[in-house]
């Protein structure tokens, strides 16, 4: 898989902070990958997300060393329009993702493509397409600020998709949502076009398991584990930092009671647990 985004030995410290939040972090993400970067709170997820999305460096916020590049070009070499068409970022707080310049959902999604000065027909095509993908067509004429948190987050993703980016960076996209909205959003993200590179930064294991096929653990300002869900989520460092999935925790209880082999990896999802136990899922 060809490398798309490369982070080279990135060391970054906020002004007045004693220690760097990112400390020699290196990472390569390939085109079309679905990557979950897991980390506990205050480990630098949002900072890394902003670097990956090209929002940093910004003014006085500069790296002490290293850089982030897309297709071999440092972000500082990209102009605003070029970068916006290549990568999109969706943050944690839904209402903060709105442009503040659109009176309807339709206009909010069209805001970015209009800024790129695309032909009107192309703007309409992109907006319609994004509304279908994110299930927003019935809300097209609503005021974005009156939507629920889940709907606003779907709107943010639709607005990002309308830019036709190659990479979508999602910083804890479900953290401010109720369980129903969270499951709904995960299902929507899961349906996004296959060629799109998705980077999800999460503290919660459940959404990451549903969205990614490559998992990285961010700890102490560096990537300390990189692999499949089974490799990373059963890693003691990951368990120490994030805890276990509820299924793995239950199976660990069985293991401690002697009902599960101690040398066998713990299942992470219900489907894996069923398969490991040889239980058939009753349907209908």
Partner 1 sequence: MASLTKKKSDKPSLLYTAGESFLHRANPLTSLCLLLWMLSAAIVLPTEGTATLTLAAIAVALVTGVGKKALKRLLITMVPIGIALTVVHGLLIDRQDFAALGPVQISASGLDYGLRVFMRVACMLMATLLFVTTTHPADMLKALDQRGVPAGIGYLIASPLLLIEPFTERARGIRDAQRVRGLNLTGSWKARAAALPVLLVPLITLALSDLDHRASVLSGRAFRAKPHRTVINAPPDSTLQIWVRRLLLLLAVLQLGLPLLWRL
Task: Give contact residues for partner 1 (rule: CB under 8 A).
Answer: 50, 53, 55, 79-81, 84-85, 88-89, 91, 93, 95-104, 106-107, 110-120, 123-124, 140-143, 145, 159-160, 163
Of the pair 157, 273, the CB lying nearest partner 1 is at 157
Give the nearest distance from C-beta 281 to partner 1 in angstroms. 42
Of residues 98 and 211, the one with the C-beta less far from partner 1: 98
Residue 145 Cβ, how far from partner 1 at the closest point, in Å?
Answer: 5
To partner 1, the closest distance from the beta carbon of 229 in angstroms equals: 30
Pick 88 or 174: Cβ nearer partner 1: 88
Q: Which is nearer to partner 1, 63 or 247 (CB)?
A: 63
Q: For residues 124 and 166, which CB has a smaller minimum distance to partner 1 in the complex?
A: 124
Please say which residue, 93 or 224, places its beta carbon nearer to partner 1: 93
Exposure class string for 132-171: b at 16+ Cβ within 10 A, else e: ebbebeebeebebeebebbbbbbbbbbbbbbbbbbbbbbb
Minimum distance, C-beta of residue 95 to partner 1, in the bound complex (Å): 6
Q: Tell me the closest approach of the beta carbon of residue 116 to partner 1, in angstroms.
A: 5
C-alpha angle 200-202-205 in degrees, rounded to nearest 5: 110
Q: Tokens 């919660």 — which residue?
A: 204
* Nearest residue to 197 via CA among 47, 35, 48, 38: 35
Q: How far is the CB of 164 from partner 1 (least distance, A)?
A: 12
């Amino acid at each position: 898989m060809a490398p798309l985004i490369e982070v080279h030995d990135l060391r970054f410290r906020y002004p007045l902070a004693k220690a760097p939040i990112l400390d020699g972090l290196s990472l390569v993400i390939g085109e079309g990958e679905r990557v979950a970067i897991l980390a506990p709170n205050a480990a630098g997820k949002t900072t890394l997300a902003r670097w990956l999305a090209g929002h940093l460096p910004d003014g006085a916020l500069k790296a002490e060393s290293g850089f982030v590049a897309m297709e071999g070009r440092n972000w500082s070499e990209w102009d605003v329009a070029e970068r916006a068409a290549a990568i999109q970022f969706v943050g944690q707080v839904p209402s903060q993702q709105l442009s503040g310049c659109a009176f309807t959902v339709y206009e909010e999604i069209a805001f970015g493509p209009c800024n790129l000065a695309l032909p009107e027909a192309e703007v309409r095509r992109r907006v319609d397409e994004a509304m279908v993908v994110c299930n927003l067509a019935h809300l097209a004429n609503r005021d974005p600020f009156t939507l629920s948190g889940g709907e606003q987050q779907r709107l943010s993703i639709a607005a990002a998709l309308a830019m036709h980016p190659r990479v979508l960076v999602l910083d804890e996209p479900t953290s401010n949502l109720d369980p129903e909205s969270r499951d709904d959003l995960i299902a929507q993200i899961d349906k996004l076009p296959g060629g799109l590179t998705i980077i999800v930064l999460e503290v919660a294991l459940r959404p990451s398991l549903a969205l990614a096929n490559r998992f990285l653990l961010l700890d102490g300002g560096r990537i300390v584990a990189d692999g499949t869900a089974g490799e990373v989520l059963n890693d003691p460092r990951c368990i120490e930092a994030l805890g276990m999935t509820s299924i793995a925790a239950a199976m660990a209880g069985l293991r401690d009671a002697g009902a599960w082999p101690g040398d066998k990896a713990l299942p992470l999802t219900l489907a894996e647990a069923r398969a490991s136990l040889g239980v058939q899922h009753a349907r209908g």
